[in-house]
Amino acid sequence: MKKGSIYFLLLLFCAQLGITSAYAQNQGDEQQFFQIKTYHFDNAEQQQQTDQFLEEAYLPALHRLGIEPVGVFKPHEADTSGALKTHVLIPFDSLNEFASLSQQLNNDSEYLSDGEHYLQASHDNPPYKRLESTLLRAFEYAPTLMTADLDAPKPERVYELRSYESPTEALNVNKVDMFNAGGEVEIFDRLNFNPIFYGNVISGNKMPNLMYMTSFEDMESRDAHWESFRNDSQWEELSAVEKYQDNVSHIDIYFLKATSYSDL
């Protein structure tokens, strides 16, 4: 496919999402896009193989392209599902940067060499069971990826990833507005939730929904923060506003820990 055709399809994709060409070209807009890649594994050997690829090939290649910080997370000990998963959080300054990543990586000989064992895995010995991708656009009031201001070493930290599904697209817009103009982001900031990102899903397997990640020194700190949130007078007032009622139909909460090689 010609470069012009690819760009046209990208603009068409943006138009369907209500994103202008200025967003696609990242001209005059500060809101980043985030991709969450979720690897599902059948066994620990697959996870170890993917870990090696991410640490030795994938993250270094993203860094060479100026894409950072990149977060890599696994289920925390508090997660009782027993699932073998790895989440990779990647920030992009534009949809163009996201769309061109595969070609950029395919042109990186160091990446192809360092990741050969993973990239050339056979069909009967794959490095994962399934790979899911979710694409988000950062909130207006939190336009970029953030880093945790924590003293605890990575192994002790708790990263909490939340997904809020809404009954309809209109109510999803309403919930995003509640975070932005309504002041929910402001409450999290004031209570020192150490947010990593806030974003609305524009392509994924659970829609319409928004997702956000906060971080804490440990689980005890996490519980204390949420207790202060529930009792906060500004939250009590905001949650009672009539226009913000019934805008969430399902919530998923994931407790995660950062890998040793994660940037976050």
| All residues at 6 or more sequence positions from 157 whose CB lies less than 8 Å from its CB, including other chains | 148, 150, 215, 216, 217, 218, 257, 258
Going by their DSSP bridges, the two strands 85-92 and 158-165 should be labelled as unpaired
With respect to residue 113, please indicate whether it lies within any of the assigned structural domains: no
pLDDT of residue 83: 87
The helix/strand/coil state of 139 is strand
The label of the residue with tokens 């007032």 reads 237
Query: What are the E-state strand segments in the chain?
Result: 33-40, 71-75, 85-92, 130-138, 158-165, 195-203, 209-216, 250-258
- Exposed, middle or buried by CB within 10 Å (0-12, 13-18, 19+), for 83? exposed
CA distance 195 to 11: 31
CA distance 126 to 131: 11
pLDDT of residue 80: 79
CATH of the domain at 33: 3.30.70.100
Query: In the chain, which stretches have pLDDT less than 70?
Result: 1-29
Contact 42, 110 (CB under 8 A): no
pLDDT digits (tens, 9 = 90+) for 121-137: 999 999 999 999 999 99
With respect to residue 109, please indicate whether it lies within any of the assigned structural domains: no
With respect to residue 48, please indicate whether it lies within any of the assigned structural domains: no
CA distance 211 to 166: 11
**Any idea how long the chain is?**
264
pLDDT of residue 4: 43
* Domains: count for the chain: 1
With respect to residue 57, please indicate whether it lies within any of the assigned structural domains: no
The residues facing 250 across adjacent strands are 165
pLDDT of residue 29: 57
CA distance 94 to 34: 10
With respect to residue 211, please indicate whether it lies within any of the assigned structural domains: yes
- pTM listed for this prediction: 0.88
With respect to residue 151, please indicate whether it lies within any of the assigned structural domains: yes
pLDDT of residue 82: 78
| Closest to 47 in 3D by CA, of 79, 85, 80, 76 | 85
With respect to residue 162, please indicate whether it lies within any of the assigned structural domains: yes
pLDDT digits (tens, 9 = 90+) for 159-179: 999 999 999 999 999 999 999
CA distance 206 to 255: 18
Domain that holds residue 33: 21-42+65-98+129-258
With respect to residue 6, please indicate whether it lies within any of the assigned structural domains: no
